Structure 1
Amino acid sequence: MWEAIGIPRREAAQARAREAARARQEEYQARVRRAAQEQAVKQAAEREAHRLVCTACGARFTDE
């Protein structure tokens, strides 16, 4: 019976909890994206560092 009426304080607390969980999830996703981007940059720098260099002109070879 009481559930049909609703409890405003409980509903407000649940809404705050949902909002806090959503904010934590968004922050986590942002950290995951930043970590993936940093890893991609690091891998690109490592590939570039290991590229062969022409002994005649000093130019780095491309992937092609």
Structure 2
Amino acid sequence: MFFGVRLQLPPPDQLAFLAGLGVLVTLEIVKWPVALVLAVGHQLAHSHHGRLLLEFGDALEEA
């Protein structure tokens, strides 16, 4: 725990995907906005019970 905040890392396969994406951005093979979209899409696809996807959809409807 750090200042009362508990951080939980994603599973190793997701962590590897994000690390690989970071390497591609660093090497300028992929532009950072594209990497951001890929990372968000990847997280939405792997979110448990689709909670994050539902919240994202609700936010889009309100806008």
User: TM-score, with normalisation over the residues of structure 2?
Assistant: 0.33
